A and B are shown apart, each in its own frame.
Chain A
Amino acid sequence: MIAAQRLTQEVGGVAQTLDLVSGFDEALVHGFGRLGEQRQAALSALAGAFAATPLGDRLAEASGKVAAGSVSEDHLAVLAGGRSALLGAVHDALLSHLDEALGRSRMPWEVRAAAGSEAANLLAGARAWLTELAITGWRGVDHDLVSAAGQVIETLLAEPELRRLAVLLDGFAGELRACCPVAAQPQVPVRRWADLWSRAMLLAQPGFLRTASGGPISGRFLPLGVDVHEHPTAVQAQVHGLLEAGPGAPRLVRASVSAGKVDTITGPAVWRLLRGHPALLAALAEHRSLDLTGMTLLDSGDLLWEDTRAAAGEPADPFATARVQLAAAVAAPVPPLDRHPVRIAEPVLLEGYTTAAEGGACTLALGGHPLAVDVERLPSCGPLTPELVAGSSAMLGLLRWDAGRWLVQPLAVQATVKRKPITVHTGDWAMGPTDPKAAKAEAAAGDAVAVLRERAGRLLRR
């Protein structure tokens, strides 16, 4: 059972740390090419926070040089590292607070050699573009600067090891493009774009993008629900579930499958792009367990999904799985370089709450304590709607944190509609919509995949 009261408490040090981060973020709004005194002071405050740490000297040097007008790629990378370390600390404080509130135990992170090498020379182009972007600042971003990212992204996309950076830059550049010229925008997403820029700058450092270590496991995988991520050219389904492998408590694990897409493929049609993983999608749609044989499990709790190593198992209701086993499940540690509050997505079962919907917002009251529902994170590819959430009595969800507050992202609800109990999951349409109206719309949109594949076949290979 969740100690809901804990989620309304402030976590010590978080607000102060985020103030330091904001100093850096403001510099990106106007550009490192024209730092005023105030923003210079904010950068040295950020550097000062590391004074007693191994990063201290490098950050002091970088902030000093940048303030003096010498804005180099290396200095910016060091500052991005400092910002990320601060957010990593915020992440750690929040996650341990959350683990306490949930009574959840988590395995420790063990440093092990990671595999992989990447095409370092391809990263230079990305760093150069990010440097120009930082010097210019969001307010100076125009069409030419955004278009310059195109070549960089295309090169990165061709190299599977660099795909994460490519996917990030593509989503980021797409937002900048849509807001061009940014000077004409009434406001800019200050924290978000600084997050995306910093993350990209780190991923573009040689040696950063590596496959984590892990080993083969066999056992039973019981899905709890699916979290869908999407931007115009990428979609990822991240399935959270419990793994029973060997004696002891079940482990909380994830399976993530992703694919390239285009912006005109939206809604339930996105599942068509993930059809290379039929066993996983069928388990979501049919609420089944999966029997895994020799599948790789990374130390981060991520299964490297291979559909041929998964066999359909018994029917398994995710709510029943959660009620019986979630409280005792052991969570995986978060790899140090992935620590950022946005990565927090902890599966929970919520029951015995009341809901209050107002405008577009929805809030749960858990034992008298409010918890906001992240209704924006309900994907158009599934049947779960804000109305169902507002009328629900039990929920499987992910606890998230953003901008000073906890939110729950629903993955499934139990509700009463027309006096009948129903259960709705975000992944119910993974094998195609089960609702006739949505099926019809999907059939029309499904043509989109076919039309574009036909066009691609005709025009691409000439």
Chain B
Amino acid sequence: MQAAEPAWEVRSSARVVPPARPRKLAKVPFVELADGRLQGVVSSGSDIERVYVSSFSAGDHSFSCSTNNNRPCGGLGGYPCKHLHSLMDEAVVQYGADRVARYLRVEVDDEVSSGADLLRRMSGAAERTPAATVFSRFLGHLAYLEQPGSHEPVTELHWFPATGSTSSGVAR
């Protein structure tokens, strides 16, 4: 007989990160959990050429919002502006509330399911972080779609199976 399911730690194809969940991108084209922040890019509601760069820091939950040219967001006072609310809402759609809470180190209970729920449990202050880093990460993100494809076998991708048709949850 075969042994019981082997431990996750000894599997080469162990699943580590659940795939991002699909969401509409028109309002918030870019969201990521990186550099110790939830950060992203929010399209301006009034000017198609303008985007806002918004972020929350993990741990102290300080937040920031400015245009990609580093002009402060007019809606930002002592509380997160509408761009930051949108960023949080879309992050919850993309990653799930649990993963966002874990990354930002927000104390949560079972009742947290939306971005608004998470924001109610955070009490950071506005703190300017430079928009340039996040904006250039967004441009790098977009550049993936401009990359030429390839017809040479990428053996290494055997470690990265496409998943998602299963409802059997993630390893952790």
B151 adjacent to chain A (CB < 8 Å): yes
A306 contacts which chain B residues (CB < 8 A)? 151
B161 nearest in chain A by CB position? A377
A147 contacts which chain B residues (CB < 8 A)? 34-35
B161 contacts A274, C-beta separation under 8 Å: no
A386 adjacent to chain B (CB < 8 Å): yes
Chain A 168-181: CB-based contact to B (< 8 A → 1; otherwise 0): 10010011011110
B46 contacts which chain A residues (CB < 8 A)? none
Contact of B146 (CB < 8 Å), options: A177, A191, A234, A456: A456
Residues 151 to 167 of chain B near chain A (Cβ within 8 Å): 151-167
B141 contacts which chain A residues (CB < 8 A)? 262
Interface window among B20-28, B71-79, B80-88, B119-127: B20-28
Residues 212 to 270 of chain A near chain B (Cβ within 8 Å): 227-236, 238, 254-264, 266-267, 269-270
A230 contacts which chain B residues (CB < 8 A)? 19, 157, 160-163
B156 contacts A164, C-beta separation under 8 Å: yes
- Interface residues of A, count at CB 8 A: 111
B139 contacts which chain A residues (CB < 8 A)? 459-460
Contact of B149 (CB < 8 Å), options: A260, A359, A380, A386: A260
B16 contacts which chain A residues (CB < 8 A)? 175, 178-179, 189, 192
**Closest-CB distance, A115 to chain B (whole angstroms):** 12
B148 contacts A160, C-beta separation under 8 Å: yes
A234 contacts which chain B residues (CB < 8 A)? 154, 157, 160
B109 adjacent to chain A (CB < 8 Å): no
A236 contacts which chain B residues (CB < 8 A)? 153-154, 157
B68 nearest in chain A by CB position? A459
Q: A229-B158, A264-B20 are in contact. Are A376 and B144 (CB under 8 A)?
A: no
A458 contacts B153, C-beta separation under 8 Å: no
A375 contacts B166, C-beta separation under 8 Å: yes
A157 contacts B172, C-beta separation under 8 Å: no
A258 contacts B149, C-beta separation under 8 Å: yes
Contact of A456 (CB < 8 Å), options: B10, B145, B152, B155: B145
Listed residue (B17, B139, B149) with the most chain A CB atoms within 10 angstroms of its CB: B149
A274–B145 alpha-carbon span in the complex (Å): 11
Q: A377-B163, A458-B49 are in contact. Are A261 and B22 (CB under 8 A)?
A: no
A300–B155 alpha-carbon span in the complex (Å): 11
A188 contacts B9, C-beta separation under 8 Å: yes
A336–B9 alpha-carbon span in the complex (Å): 26
B33 contacts A273, C-beta separation under 8 Å: no
B13 contacts which chain A residues (CB < 8 A)? 192, 342, 376-377, 402
**Closest-CB distance, B139 to chain A (whole angstroms):** 6
Residues 15 to 30 of chain A near chain B (Cβ within 8 Å): 18, 22
A403 contacts B6, C-beta separation under 8 Å: yes
A8–B149 alpha-carbon span in the complex (Å): 40
Chain A 293-332: CB-based contact to B (< 8 A → 1; otherwise 0): 0000000101011100000000000000000000000000
**Closest-CB distance, A159 to chain B (whole angstroms):** 12
A5–B160 alpha-carbon span in the complex (Å): 29
A259 contacts B147, C-beta separation under 8 Å: yes
A211–B152 alpha-carbon span in the complex (Å): 8
Q: A230-B160, A264-B94, A381-B162 are in contact. Are A177 and B145 (CB under 8 A)?
A: no
A452 contacts which chain B residues (CB < 8 A)? 25, 29, 142, 145
Contact of A385 (CB < 8 Å), options: B34, B36, B165: B165
A409 nearest in chain B by CB position? B161
A99 adjacent to chain B (CB < 8 Å): no
Contact of B150 (CB < 8 Å), options: A163, A341, A404: A163
A174 nearest in chain B by CB position? B17
Chain B 18-53: CB-based contact to A (< 8 A → 1; otherwise 0): 011111111001010111100000010000110100
Q: A186-B172, A260-B144 are in contact. Are A168 and B26 (CB under 8 A)?
A: no
**Closest-CB distance, B41 to chain A (whole angstroms):** 8
B9 contacts which chain A residues (CB < 8 A)? 187-191
B163 contacts which chain A residues (CB < 8 A)? 230, 376-380
A101 adjacent to chain B (CB < 8 Å): no
A157 contacts which chain B residues (CB < 8 A)? 147
A57 adjacent to chain B (CB < 8 Å): no
**Closest-CB distance, A363 to chain B (whole angstroms):** 8
Residues of B within 8 A of A (CB): 1-3, 5-17, 19-26, 29, 31, 33-36, 43, 48-49, 51, 68, 94, 137-169, 172
Ordered by A's residue number, 19 sampled pairs between the chains whose C-beta atoms are within 8 Å are: A164-B154, A189-B11, A191-B12, A228-B162, A235-B162, A238-B157, A262-B145, A264-B22, A266-B164, A277-B151, A304-B151, A345-B158, A377-B161, A377-B162, A384-B165, A385-B166, A386-B168, A404-B6, A452-B25
A-B residue pairs, 10 tightest by C-beta: A360-B168, A380-B164, A379-B162, A260-B147, A229-B157, A403-B6, A378-B165, A230-B162, A228-B162, A456-B142
Extra 9 A-B pairs, beta carbons < 8 Å, given A229-B161, A264-B22, A304-B152: A146-B34, A192-B14, A229-B162, A234-B154, A258-B157, A267-B22, A360-B167, A376-B166, A456-B142
